Structure 1
Amino acid sequence: MASNTDNMSSSTICGPWSWFCKGDQDNEDMLLPIILLAVSVTILGTCLFQWGFKKQRETADKLPPGPRGLPIVGYLPFLGPNLHQMFMELALTYGPIYKLSIGRKLCVIISSPALVKEVVRDQDITFANRNPTIAAKTFSYGGKDIAFQPYGPEWRMLRKIFVREMQSNANLDAFYSLRRNKVKESVNETYRKIGKPVNIGKLAFSTVINMISGMFWGGTLEVDTEIDIGSEFRAAASELIEILGKPNVSDFFPVLARFDIQGIERKMKKATQRIEKIYDFVMDEWIEKGGERVESEAKNDQRKDFMHFLLGFKEQDSGRSISREQIKALLMVTFPLPPLYYYESCKPKWTVTII
């Protein structure tokens, strides 16, 4: 009876691990491979960890110095409103080139004229590609313009069309009378406000945008239509640039991009659609009037608005054809944003009173 009781007790204690409690030859044969597997996994995990740590150190050794920041968020909590002053202070500490982790983004800051020359001129092809924000990628139709499109044949084609033809000296000189008339209109508008304060920053901004819109489609639209379209264009572009200037947490933490927590992508799509309707209207007007007739009128006037150039390349089969989205992306990024961005970010408040 005692022997049976001992056997039952031993069986109860071992339970499902009874094979481990038994010392027969078969169980010992099973135990050996398990031990070897555990040792192999441990050794492999240790080697992988050491290899990853070594690669991380090698990558860190190739990067310039910089502040460490905090885990996950990096240096983001320490960024202040005056970024130029903060960058200058960091340059005094770490030198003319240093790294800065902002969220999950690793940035390299350069503050030396010699290094800037090296990046933007001597090694321009190496640094040609851009990493657009979510908002920028949205209004440029996924980066189909010359600002955010990756360096390659399409980018070179767009740049050639833009620089050599649209922005040629002959075509820009032909727009001299248009630019002069827009300046005269602004001066006349100022004189009509004698005795009232005039916001010089807003006046300069409005003058530049009027000149740009005239160069966009000045030969395509009637005068009254151009005025209405220009007014809508300025309002829509102002909304777009306001959204573009807002910081987006999804840009610093790409894993959150799918959730669009701040609604930046959704708002940008709506603002882009407003400008897109204007571009579509102007393109349809150009096509409806007949491209050849408009081209003939442009030759008599000795100048072509930018719509003439871009739509003239749309239907070509010579390898220089560009899509409708590329046209809108090129116009979207190249022209309204620089003056709008300056105005919205600086908000000049200088005012004078005409006596």
Structure 2
Amino acid sequence: MQVLRWDGGGPMLATRDSSTLTVLIGTFAVLWLLWAIKKQRKAAVHPLPPGPRGLPIVGYLPFVGTELHTKFHQLCGIYGPIYKVWLGNKLSIVISSPSLVKEVVRDQDAIFSNRDTNIVGRTITYGGADIALSLNCPNWKMLRKIFVREMLSPTNLDITLALRREEVRKTIRNVYDKKGTHIDLGDLAFITVMNAIMNMLWGGTLRGEEGAKFGAEFKHIFAELVMILGKPNVSDLFPALARFDLQGIRRKAKRISETIDRVLDYAIDKQIKSLAKAKEEGTTKTEQKDFLQVLLELSEQDDGAPSMIMTQIKALVFLS
């Protein structure tokens, strides 16, 4: 079909067929370009392991059930020792053989060490400032060196031996005072371990009734924290909903974090004043040295090594 168009100087001839052909060629070029890009991306990305099919948006989440380990064991029998599971918008890779675990946690640990932390973990660790949730970087290596060589060195463990021994003696006296009555050994062991840990953290800083008060408050906080850490959070599975905090878990974690912060601020302020007083008097605290004192002394060293900031000290003390 021919169409005549007047353009001042004379008639011009245009064809609808040529316009259609131009559109088709352009569309084909765009489709070919998109196909080439997609093929290139597929070639660059390694294929994922097999796994169960899920539903749109929620993935395999409705079929997991309450016993996660049992379901994962069942899926292992179907898909093998490594498989993928979509939980909401999060892709999880499950491994269940000793050889693969060894490959991940030891042989290739530098690759797999970084992890996607949940909201509660980031909130209580000051954005992942502790050794457990920090990314594999020079900062993490510094924290690991401090944790292993300083806090848990034989010398410092020997220094805190008196603190641990005192807690064990208190437990023995407590059992002796309750002779002839029923005793929950599990609860008793838990309290003894918690008291020993609290004593090692700041036993030389907060003594007597003051230390017992803060220890009891910390144990209550820790129990509540364990509950929300293990609670499934919709915000973790669907990051787009995180801003709404539908279950209120982030608010609870924030409240716990603020309580922990107040306790640690008090203990750190008291220890700093004690160290400053000892420095003015020309003496050094050598007895009843706790982890908090060790960290504060390390942060004040001027040996050219990277020093810790206060949030890292708090995170290490609380999650040691």
When normalised by structure 2's length, the TM-score is: 0.87
For 2:118 and 2:231, how far apart are their aligned partners in 1?
A: 11
Aligned CA distance change for structure 1 residues 21 and 305 (closer, same or farther; 3 Å): farther
Matched AA of 1:243: I
TM-superposed CA distance for 1:167, in Å, is 0.5
Indicate whether 1:176 and 2:165 are aligned: no
Aligned CA distance change for structure 1 residues 199 and 23 (closer, same or farther; 3 Å): farther
TM-superposed CA distance for 1:160, in Å, is 0.3
For 1:30 and 1:279, how far apart are their aligned partners in 2?
A: 79
State which drifts further: 177-186 or 279-288: 177-186
Which residue in the other structure is 2:237 paired with? 252
Of 39, 44, 49, 2:30 maps to 44
For 2:215 and 2:268, how far apart are their aligned partners in 1?
A: 15
For 1:118 and 1:176, how far apart are their aligned partners in 2?
A: 37
For 2:301 and 2:177, how far apart are their aligned partners in 1?
A: 48
Which residue in the other structure is 1:326 paired with? 312
For 1:164 and 1:31, how far apart are their aligned partners in 2?
A: 80
Which residue in the other structure is 2:191 paired with? 206
TM-superposed CA distance for 1:118, in Å, is 1.3
TM-superposed CA distance for 1:49, in Å, is 5.1
For 2:174 and 2:35, how far apart are their aligned partners in 1?
A: 71
Which residue in the other structure is 1:310 paired with? 295
Asked whether the 8 Å contact 2:81–2:96 carries over to 1, the reply is: yes
Which residue in the other structure is 1:6 paired with? none
- Secondary structure at the aligned position of 2:109 is classed as coil
State which drifts further: 266-275 or 48-57: 48-57
Q: Output aligned runs, 1:1-355, within 5 Å.
A: 23-24=4-5, 28=14, 36-37=22-23, 39-41=25-27, 43-45=29-31, 47-48=33-34, 51-52=37-38, 55=41, 59=45, 62-291=47-276, 293=278, 296=283, 298-299=285-286, 301=287, 304-317=289-302, 318-333=304-319, 335=320
Aligned CA distance change for structure 1 residues 40 and 88 (closer, same or farther; 3 Å): same
For 1:37 and 1:62, how far apart are their aligned partners in 2?
A: 36
Deviation track 1:50-80 (CA, whole Å, cap 9, x = no partner) reads: 7437745874x62222112222211111112
Percentage of identical aligned residues: 44
- Secondary structure at the aligned position of 1:109 is classed as strand
Matched AA of 1:263: G
TM-superposed CA distance for 1:87, in Å, is 1.5
Higher RCO, 1 or 2 (CA under 8 Å, sep at least 6)? 1
Q: How many residues align?
A: 312
Deviation track 1:99-143 (CA, whole Å, cap 9, x = no partner) reads: 111111111111111111111111111111121001111111111
For 1:268 and 1:167, how far apart are their aligned partners in 2?
A: 28
TM-superposed CA distance for 1:97, in Å, is 1.4
Aligned CA distance change for structure 1 residues 23 and 176 (closer, same or farther; 3 Å): same
For 2:249 and 2:106, how far apart are their aligned partners in 1?
A: 33
Asked whether the 8 Å contact 1:219–1:298 carries over to 2, the reply is: no
Matched AA of 2:307: S
TM-superposed CA distance for 1:199, in Å, is 2.7
- Give the superposed CA RMSD: 2.7
Deviation track 1:236-266 (CA, whole Å, cap 9, x = no partner) reads: 2222222222111111111111222212112
State which drifts further: 285-294 or 239-248: 285-294
- Secondary structure at the aligned position of 2:83 is classed as strand
Matched AA of 2:154: N
Aligned CA distance change for structure 1 residues 34 and 270 (closer, same or farther; 3 Å): farther
Matched AA of 1:234: K
Asked whether the 8 Å contact 1:313–1:320 carries over to 2, the reply is: no
Asked whether the 8 Å contact 1:240–1:272 carries over to 2, the reply is: no
Deviation track 1:272-295 (CA, whole Å, cap 9, x = no partner) reads: 111111110000001122347289
For 1:296 and 1:117, how far apart are their aligned partners in 2?
A: 49
Asked whether the 8 Å contact 2:2–2:14 carries over to 1, the reply is: no
State which drifts further: 28-37 or 206-215: 28-37
